[in-house]
Structures are given as structure tokens and as C-alpha cells.
């Protein structure tokens, strides 16, 4: 097994609270922290986690925050060094969505989530590699090369936020922001052994996020701890008038989840998942051990049927590719981004620019989406998938009326080898089978690192909760974490 950095991989700080304590005791500063992370980014370029680091800018920002700390004017996230997935707009910085079609593009706006975090003195240290336009389950679809898993560099990180997960796992930054359309925060979190949450749809603003599938996309943090995930979520969450689906539902003090008193939860286990022949046996046994521990602590377990499980992946891919084919039509070689040289006419300009700019997986999904939206097949595929999505959501909400959270594996297996599934798109798509459910239903879900497999790789467990109940979700994850 090829590990990164040996003993050097040991994390200096598990939580932001530890960092802030060290700063207050003058054992650390934002400047030394940023210097440390920049050094590690450059030392571990072989992981391909970062596409660009903002060296001078991050150090300058660190000095400014150090001054604010001395003046006791610093924000609540002072000391947080953060990487951002290369799909979030950051004004004045390059933005490519890990695609050649945007290779020369510079963002004109800053995503709302970044503005909120910077307002509380988080430091953005760089752009992180991802699957092109967030389309992938292994981070092998980036135009700039695959990201390697720091636990074992022969394995994938998961996708599409693979660079973001790998950076946290390898201690190249303290936390990262990813986006989750069908598991793109949670699956790489599970594969790399970190925490990743997909909030309720509409809980976090999507303004400044390059759209893949607009009715699925959500932004979420990847962290070393539940505590930091909750602190970041507390700052990011809330209504944003620049995002028309942003919810006005009141936010909660997510970071106080550990203060919730003794609560007896009912955890649901889905029979179709636990009995799936594709589920790794060690992961199945891990869940059952956790179940025993939860029951001994006074919680209850309820087995539930979810017969629609076999439809979640096809339903997801029909709807997301349809939305992608619409969203990606703006990349035409005219307004911005890559433009082909010497096209014969306007139609040829469109064809050549997109052929040269988009990678194979993006082309595959655009073509599939265009097909399911075409006049002869719209009702047979898209309309039917929309009806199935409604059934999936209704049935899931009915189950969550009986249980507090659904406990599942994050993925059917641990991280697979680089190149193992690239020739079989269907096999690759099935790695999302346990994560797409939450996106179809618009519900929050979190992946926690639960144990190490006998193969030496992390095993992730997932909890899905009720809409806008992120605080309870964090508490359930905490109980599972300590079970």
C-alpha cells in the first residue's frame, strides 16, 4: 500500500477549536498555519488534489487576520484554512470546473458561501481538483488528471469532490468545500476517511456554484470533525435572495449539537440495502456492530422496506443528465471559455468548441440528457422519471415519519483501484447507489468515517435525516461516531 507522507501525515489539529486555542496561547498564528499548509500542498503535488494554491494572497490574508486577532476583532472562523472545489466562483480567480472548455476563464463573482465564510475570517488557500463539471464518482474525469487517495495512492478518492476530500485527509488544508449532486461530498468523504455533509436542498445558497443538475446540487463541507462541519454549516446556511430556491426556513445553532440532552432515537435500516449482494461483507458487519452499540445505549432500530431502491440510480441519471444538457448549453464557444479555431460556420463553431472542450464523460451525459428530453422520448423517460422521483420522496418521507434517521453504508465498497471502473459507465454509476437517494428526496445526509477495512481503507457510514433537521442529524452522527 502506498501511503502519503508516512508519519508526516499525522494531523496537527483535529478541530478549529484546537487551532484557535493554540493561537490564543501564542503557540500558533494564521501565518504559520498557512505556511504549513502551503508547504504540504507543494510537497504532495503527486496527489493532484489542488489545481492552484493562492500562496501570496493566503499569506497576506493570514497576516490581516492575525492583526484582527490581536485587536480582538476576528470572526468566529479565524484560523480556518479552507480549500474550495474548482466549481465555486471566487472573484478574480481562475475557474475551470476541471474542464478544458473553461481553461482561460476568470470568475467575475464570488459564491455566497465563500463570501459568508470570508466574512468570518476563513482563509481560502486554493482551488481543488474535481471530476469535470462535477460529473463522476471517482475523480478520474478531470481534464487535469485523476486525484489519488492519500490513504493508498493506487486507489481513487471518490467523486466528484475528490480533490476536496483528499486535501483534508492528507492535511493539505484544515477543511474544504465541495458540492453534492448525488453523493459528491459524501462518497469521497467515505473513501478518504473524513466527514462530509449534504445539507437539505435549499438550506445553503447555490449562487456562484457552476450548475450540474440544478434541482439536486448542494454545497457542503468536508472536515476532520463533526464539530468543524457544524461550525462551517452554521455560517453558510440561510436564505440568499440571489438563489431563488434558497429556503427562508430559520437556521439552527448546529455547532451546539453535543449539548442536546439524552435523546432516544429510532434508526431505520433499509432491508434492500442491508441484503444487497453488492454490499461488502465487512461494511455490513460494521453496521450491525454499530446497531448493537446503539441498542445497548437505549436507542431503537427499525427495519424498513424500500422497494423503490432499484429505481434510484436510473431515475437519478435520467433527471440529472437532462438538467445537465440544459445547463451546459451555455458553453458554446462564443460568450466565454474555449473557442475552436477557424470553424466553417456558426454550427461548426458550436460543434468544434464543445468537442475540443468537453471530456468523454461530460459528452456522454449531455447526449443522454438530450436524448431523454427529445420529443419522441420525453414522456417515456423524463416524465416517468419525474413521477418516480415523487414516489421516492413520498415513500422516504413516510419512512422518516416512523424513524429519526436512516442508517446506511456511504458506498457499497471501499475505494476501488484507479482505472478499475473507467471502461464500464454502468458499474461506475452504481457506486452512487446509496447516496443518490438523499438528493432525489432533497434531504440532508452525512457520511462519517467509521472504521478501517481489513484492506486498510476507510469505511464510511451515512445517516439521512428529515428536511432542515441538520442539528439532529449531527447529533445522531455524533452518537454513531462514539458508539
Q: Would you say how long the chain is, in residues?
A: 483
With CA atoms as reference, report the closest residue to 36 among 90, 88, 79, 94. 79
Q: Pick the catalytic residue: 99, 184, 225, 353?
A: 184
Whether 98 sits among the annotated catalytic residues: the reply is no
160: preceding bond cis by omega (within 30 degrees): yes
DSSP letter assigned to residue 121: T
Q: Extract long-range pairs of 349-358: CB within 8 Å, 24+ residues apart.
A: 353/101, 354/101, 356/100, 356/101, 357/99, 357/100, 357/101, 357/102, 357/331, 357/333, 358/99, 358/100, 358/101, 358/132, 358/328, 358/331
Contact 436, 412 (CB under 8 A): no
CA–CA separation, 452 and 470 (whole Å): 26
Q: Pick the catalytic residue: 29, 137, 138, 160?
A: 160
CA–CA separation, 177 and 40 (whole Å): 19
Contact 269, 305 (CB under 8 A): no
With CA atoms as reference, report the closest residue to 406 among 449, 471, 459, 466. 466
Whether 215 sits among the annotated catalytic residues: the reply is no
Q: Do β-strands 195-198 and 445-452 pair in parallel, antiparallel, or remain unpaired?
A: antiparallel
With CA atoms as reference, report the closest residue to 158 among 443, 454, 445, 459. 459
Whether 85 sits among the annotated catalytic residues: the reply is yes
Q: Pick the catalytic residue: 85, 148, 155, 290?
A: 85
With CA atoms as reference, report the closest residue to 162 among 182, 146, 181. 146
- Please give the full DSSP string across 237-269, using - where no structure is assigned: BS--TTSTT---SPP--GGGGGGS-----EEEE
Tally DSSP H helices, then E strands, for the chain. Answer: 16, 11
Q: Supply the residues annotated as catalytic.
A: 85, 160, 184
Amino acid at each position: 500500500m502506498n501511503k502519503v507522507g508516512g508519519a508526516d501525515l499525522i494531523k496537527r489539529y483535529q478541530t478549529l477549536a484546537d487551532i484557535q486555542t493554540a493561537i490564543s496561547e501564542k503557540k500558533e498564528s494564521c501565518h504559520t498555519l498557512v505556511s504549513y499548509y502551503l508547504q504540504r500542498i507543494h510537497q504532495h503535488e503527486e496527489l493532484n488534489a489542488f489545481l492552484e494554491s493562492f500562496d501570496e494572497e493566503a499569506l497576506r490574508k493570514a497576516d490581516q487576520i492575525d492583526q484582527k486577532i490581536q485587536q480582538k476583532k476576528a470572526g468566529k472562523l479565524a484560523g480556518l484554512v479552507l480549500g474550495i472545489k474548482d466549481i465555486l466562483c471566487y472573484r478574480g480567480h481562475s475557474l475551470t470546473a476541471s474542464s478544458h472548455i473553461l481553461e482561460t476563464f476568470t470568475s467575475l463573482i464570488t459564491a455566497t458561501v465563500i463570501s459568508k465564510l470570508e466574512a468570518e475570517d476563513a482563509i481560502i488557500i486554493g482551488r481543488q481538483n474535481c471530476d469535470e463539471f462535477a460529473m463522476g464518482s471517482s475523480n478520474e474525469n478531470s481534464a487535469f488528471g485523476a486525484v489519488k487517495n492519500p490513504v493508498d495512492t493506487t486507489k481513487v478518492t471518490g467523486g466528484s469532490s475528490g480533490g476536496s476530500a483528499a486535501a483534508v485527509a492528507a492535511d493539505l488544508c484544515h477543511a474544504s468545500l465541495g458540492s453534492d449532486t448525488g453523493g459528491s461530498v459524501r462518497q469521497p468523504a467515505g473513501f478518504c476517511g473524513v466527514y462530509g455533509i449534504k445539507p437539505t436542498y435549499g438550506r445553503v445558497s447555490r449562487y456562484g456554484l457552476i450548475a450540474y443538475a440544478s434541482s439536486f446540487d448542494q454545497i457542503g463541507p468536508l472536515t476532520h470533525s463533526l464539530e468543524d462541519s457544524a461550525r462551517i454549516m452554521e455560517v453558510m446556511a440561510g436564505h440568499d435572495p440571489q438563489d431563488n430556491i434558497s429556503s427562508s426556513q430559520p437556521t439552527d445553532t448546529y455547532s451546539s449539537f453535543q449539548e442536546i440532552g439524552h435523546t432516544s432515537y429510532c434508526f431505520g435500516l433499509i432491508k434492500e440495502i442491508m441484503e444487497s449482494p453488492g454490499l461488502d461483507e465487512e461494511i455490513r458487519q460494521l453496521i450491525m456492530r454499530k446497531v448493537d452499540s446503539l441498542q445497548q445505549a437505549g436507542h431503537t432500530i427499525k427495519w424498513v422496506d424500500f422497494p423503490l431502491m432499484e429505481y434510484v440510480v436510473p431515475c437519478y441519471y435520467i433527471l440529472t443528465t437532462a438538467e445537465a444538457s440544459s445547463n451546459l448549453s451555455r458553453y458554446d464557444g462564443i460568450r466565454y471559455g474555449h473557442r475552436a479555431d477557424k470553424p466553417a460556420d456558426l454550427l461548426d463553431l458550436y460543434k468544434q468548441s464543445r468537442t475540443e472542450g468537453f471530456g468523454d464523460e461530460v459528452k456522454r451525459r449531455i447526449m443522454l440528457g438530450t436524448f431523454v428530453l427529445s420529443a419522441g422520448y420525453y414522456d417515456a423517460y423524463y416524465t416517468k422519471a419525474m413521477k418516480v422521483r415523487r414516489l421516492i420522496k413520498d415513500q422516504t418521507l413516510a419512512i422518516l415519519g416512523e424513524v429519526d434517521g436512516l442508517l446506511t453504508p456511504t458506498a457499497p465498497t471501499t475505494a476501488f483501484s484507479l482505472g478499475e471502473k473507467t471502461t464500464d459507465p454502468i458499474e461506475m454509476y452504481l457506486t452512487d447507489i446509496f447516496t443518490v437517494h438523499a438528493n432525489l428526496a432533497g434531504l440532508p445526509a452525512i457520511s462519517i468515517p467509521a472504521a478501517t477495512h481489513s484492506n486498510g481503507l476507510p469505511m464510511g457510514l451515512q445517516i439521512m435525516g428529515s428536511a432542515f433537521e441538520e442539528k439532529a442529524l449531527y447529533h445522531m452522527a455524533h452518537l454513531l461516531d462514539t458508539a
